[in-house]
Amino acid sequence: MKTKLLLATALLSLSSTALARNDIGQYSINELLHTSKAKSVLLDVPLYFGQQSHSEVKESFGEVMTNKKTNAFNKSDREACEWVMLSALKALQERAQREGMNAVVNIQSFYRKREFSSETEYECGAGALIAGVTLKGTLVNL
């Protein structure tokens, strides 16, 4: 009886550890933006990552942030992260339109309040059940 109880306890502790997984991965922005999913979801509001060059800023609304989560159950980390990144980018685009701006510049990852600025990659946290992306960007008129 003790052996069964110990085995059950060990299995429960292992399964809770697996569910608590929160890996931070870096994924290609360019690959994502060239998918058919991105082309069907994103709006016609230019996005500039990190220090990518863009036209002169004529007006700035300021920096905004979006924090998106998605169901990661039964999905690869990449699949879940791509979906939640598209959701976060669309949220930035929608906010730019709402505020009368026509672009988002200096987009950077801010997952778990850790800045990650890159022209080529974004960060995403993925666990067994949830994947998340936090982005900061500046809304501007170019």
* 96-125 confidence digits (pLDDT tens): 999 999 999 999 999 999 999 999 999 999
Residue closest to 58 by CA, chosen among 105, 122, 92: 105
User: pLDDT at position 29, please?
Assistant: 98
Percent of the chain with pLDDT over 70: 86
Mean of pLDDT over the chain: 90
Nearest-angstrom CA–CA distance, 86 and 67: 12
Is the torsion defined by CA of 26, 122, 110, 65 positive or negative?
negative
**What number does CATH give the domain 22-141?**
3.30.110.70
pLDDT digits (tens, 9 = 90+) for 7-37: 444 444 444 444 567 899 999 999 999 999 9
Q: Which carries the bigger pLDDT value, residue 62 or residue 4?
A: 62
Contacts of 75 (CB under 8 A, 6+ apart): 83, 131
Determine the 3-state secondary structure of 71 from DSSP: strand
User: pLDDT at position 1, please?
Assistant: 54
Nearest-angstrom CA–CA distance, 121 and 38: 15
Of the listed ranges 16-25, 52-61, 69-78, 79-88, the least confidently predicted one is: 16-25
User: pLDDT at position 22, please?
Assistant: 81
